[in-house]
Amino acid sequence: MSERDTTILFVGDMHLGRLPTRVPDGDDLPPLAELGPGAAWRRVADEAVRLAVDAVALAGDVVHGANDLFEGANELAAGLESLARAGIPVLAVAGNHDTRVLPDLARRGGITLLGPGGTWSAADITPPGGPTVRLVGWSFPEPHWSVSPLATPPPPPETGLVTFGLLHADLDLADSRYAPVSSAALTNTGYAGWLLGHIHRPDEPADGGRPFYLGSLSGLDPTETGRHGPVLARIGGDGRVAMRRLALAPLVWTGCELDLSPAEDAARDLPSLVLGAMTDAAAALGDDLGAARAVGIRVVLRGTVADPNGVRRAAGALVAGATCLNARGVMCFLEGIIDEVRGALDLAALAAIADPAGLLARRVLTLEGAGAVPGVEDPAGWRAALLRDARRRLADIDAMPAFGNMESAADDEAVRREALAAARAVLEHLLATKGAGHAADPA
Ligand SMILES: [Mn+2]
């Protein structure tokens, strides 16, 4: 029996050389370079040294691409130097972004590349006093690769030796051009685990030898929400494996919804309502906040308000003003506001008159599913016809190369929501311009 556990720190897509998008210029925020992948990687190296791990393993897309090569290579080198000083080996596979760059960087030293050119190769980690752990990896041979990496089988696991697979691939998408691979087939290899790069949304570390995505090391844009960071694997002498994610990302993204219906004057009160929502969103992060230096928050506005255009103007001013607040000692900034508010309209009264606004109001009521609509004999039948028409138009848009596959997966409910939002927006605009026209026309 070994005297101690073997530990490996696994790192997902870093995209070194890139900077996070959608961070406003604000005096209160740390500089962008302190919030990006380079800063996240420095933290990983520091933590690896502090924990005295036995190896660091990188699952591809380490460097973003040839355009950011110098930035990326410099950032990588900073972390590799401190790991080398501490005697911690670094192993990696290449992804679709660093197919050519990573092997070149590995040749310069500091990284052992696994699976060069679409082969499988293994490296053993043999720390004194700890159990030996084998890493088996496969690297992208070309930026696009439509064949499963398992077309050539990886070496079978050896009895009594804990083996992990390290791979950059697209799980369970047979048509993918990014190394499509089946999760069941990976699980069937009998490895202790498969740690994957490519998809930036992190999964919970999986047990039972099942594959899971490490996720991007630090969220690169507002869609990359949740807890990001490396996964620490601890392997006991009895072969038991424990994995947990360390929330080391310097920048955390989150979102929240704000219902404006109860507000007395939503446009006037928007700044304080948004600040309240941001404070709640930061508090709701809990442990996901981890070691973050900044939090980007996207607020979705919902509800029915008297003055939707006033709300829109107030929202625009808040976003343009790089709104920041200090919550739990971390700077939280307003990344953006998604406006889904509706104007308070007397739709039935509008629909009773057959002018352009009234005809639109009839459509809105019908799409909302009203049982009776002024001027409409069979609302349910018309609703079905409206949706058929909307689907046909969306199919036309979908056929245009620039919008390919945009809405092809949309179901009837998604089409109804979109059509309803569009009809409401046009109706509100029509009424606003009509009102302005009247006011400017006293004679
Ligand atoms: Mn990636």
Same-domain check for residues 71 and 127: yes
Do 234 and 117 fall within a single domain? yes
Ligand 1 centroid to Cα of residue 64, in Å, is 8
Angle of helix 356-368 relative to helix 379-399, nearest 10 degrees? Answer: 100
Mark the residues whose beta carbon lies below 5 A from ion ligand 1. 13, 61
Same domain, 148 and 30: yes
Does residue 409 have a pLDDT over 70? no
**Number of domains forming the structure of the chain:** 3
Residues with Cβ within 8 Å of 237's Cβ and at least 6 positions away in sequence, in order, are: 1, 2, 3, 4, 5, 130, 131
Asked if the model's pLDDT at residue 2 lies above 80, the reply is no
What is residue 329's predicted lDDT score, i.e. its pLDDT? 86
Average pLDDT, the chain: 92
Residue 435 has what pLDDT?
Answer: 61
Share of the chain above pLDDT 70, in %: 95
Dist. CA 177 → ligand 1 center (Å): 14
Ramachandran assignment for 15, one of left (phi > 0), alpha (psi -120 to 50 degrees), beta (any other): left
Q: How many CA atoms lie within 13 A of 285 on its CB side?
A: 29
| pLDDT reported for residue 398 | 65
More confident residue, 442 or 275: 275
**Final residue of a domain: which of 281, 311, 343?**
343
End-to-end CA distance of the chain: 96
Does the residue 207 lie in any domain?
yes
For residue 413, the model assigns a pLDDT of 82
> Does 78 share its domain with 142?
yes
For the stretch 216-257, pLDDT in tens is 999 999 999 999 999 999 999 999 999 999 999 999 999 999
Q: In terms of pLDDT, which residue wins out, 422 or 270?
A: 270
Dist. CA 105–CA 116, nearest whole Å = 13
Lowest mean pLDDT among 95-99, 220-224, 330-334, 404-408: 404-408
Q: Is pLDDT at 321 greater than 50 in this prediction? A: yes
| Domain termination residue (choose one: 245, 274, 303) | 245
pLDDT band at 421 (very low <50, low <70, confident <90, very high): confident
341-356 per-position pLDDT tens digit:
988 888 999 999 999 9
* pLDDT given at position 433: 80
How many angstroms is it from 54 CA to the middle of ligand 1?
Answer: 25
The answer on 281 and 215 residing in a single domain is: no
- Which residues lie below 8 Å from residue 144, measured CB to CB, with a gap of 6+? 96, 177, 178
Global pTM?
A: 0.83
Q: Which domain holds residue 415?
A: 347-439
Q: Does 109 map to a domain? A: yes
Residue count (the chain): 443
Q: Is residue 1 part of a domain?
A: no
CA of 297 to the centre of ligand 1 (A): 22
Which of 230, 245, 260 is the C-terminal boundary of a domain? 245
Q: Give distance in angstroms: CA of 320 to centre of ligand 1.
A: 30
Same domain as 377, residue 330: no
